[in-house]
Amino acid sequence: MGYSNGEIINFNTIGINPYFVNEHEIAKVLSDNAVVAPFKSLVTEIHFFGAGCSLPDKHEIVSNGLSSVFPNAFIAVDHDLYGSVYATCGNSEGINCILGTGSNICYFDGKQIQIGTHGLGYILGDEGSGTFFGKKILLSYLYDKMPQELAVEFKKMFPTEKEEVITNVYQKPFPNIYLAGFSRFMENHKTHPYIKNILKTGFQLFIDTHIKDYENYQSIPCHFVGSIAFYYQDILIEVLKDNGINVGRILQKPIEGLFTYILNREGIEV
């Protein structure tokens, strides 16, 4: 999302995570975007919030990629948790959770973010994420544990074989995104007891593993950002309330709230 002469400009790209793409690939993604192209030399300020941007060397990968496309821009790169917090909590205390392709969580005291021992990625963690659920659904199908009526529908939606799965997971780039794609199967079947149980179990695991790490988790709002939280929010809210958690904002994408927050912070009225 961009802002030019009072006009808001929207565009999308693939996810940019410096653990999976280098600065040249980042530059190509943006250079090939038709919406971005006319503004390359006109952009004066960029605020980038992304997954995998918590370490200085990862900052540099993203910053270098962006600066090669936008040579006249001041560039600030930060962790996606900050962007998510600004979009949901604003300047108020709260717990902020990301449930998208991956998952993460942090506590915000109204001024500073406290990042704990979370965010271990799709191999070690990402409980309650698209990758987590996609893997559960895929394994259920491949191990022939899925109810027959669901297995028939799954095969129609994903006519894939074991060998193809193994190739995509172990030999091709972005296996996390590939696995997360299978979570889409749950959307049209979320009322089925089998799928609902997978969702509830996954959300409960996220709560037990992450949210309950914070002693005050039942006394402050708990916000969520991401497609998994958004599309399955009815089940998510049910599980949260069962655990005595105060449900805050649930956003599919934090960009609009974040965009407004950044402009207001810079003294620009939208």
Contacts with 120 (C-beta within 8 Å, 6 or more apart), sequence order:
126
Quick: pLDDT tens for 94-116: 999 999 988 989 999 988 888 77
- 195 beta partners: none
CATH architecture of 2-83+255-265: 2-Layer Sandwich (3.30)
Q: Answer whether 134's CB lies under 8 Å from 182's CB.
A: yes
Q: Determine how many CB atoms are found less than 10 A away from the CB of residue 73.
A: 17
CATH architecture of 92-251: 2-Layer Sandwich (3.30)
Please indicate, yes or no, whether the overall pTM of this predicted structure exceeds 0.85. Answer: no
| pLDDT at 5 (0 to 100) | 56
Quick: pLDDT tens for 173-218: 888 889 999 999 999 999 999 999 999 999 999 999 999 999 899 9
CA distance 67 to 189: 44
Based on the number of CB atoms within 10 Å of its own CB, is 110 exposed (0-12), middle (13-18) or buried (19 or more)? Answer: exposed
Under the phi-then-psi rule, with left for phi > 0, alpha for psi from -120 to 50, and beta for the rest, what region is 90?
left
Which range is least confidently modeled, 93-97, 99-103, 134-138, 258-262? Answer: 258-262
| pLDDT at 173 (0 to 100) | 80
| Domain ranges in the chain with CATH number 3.30.420.40 | 92-251
φ, ψ (nearest 5 deg) of residue 249: -80, 145
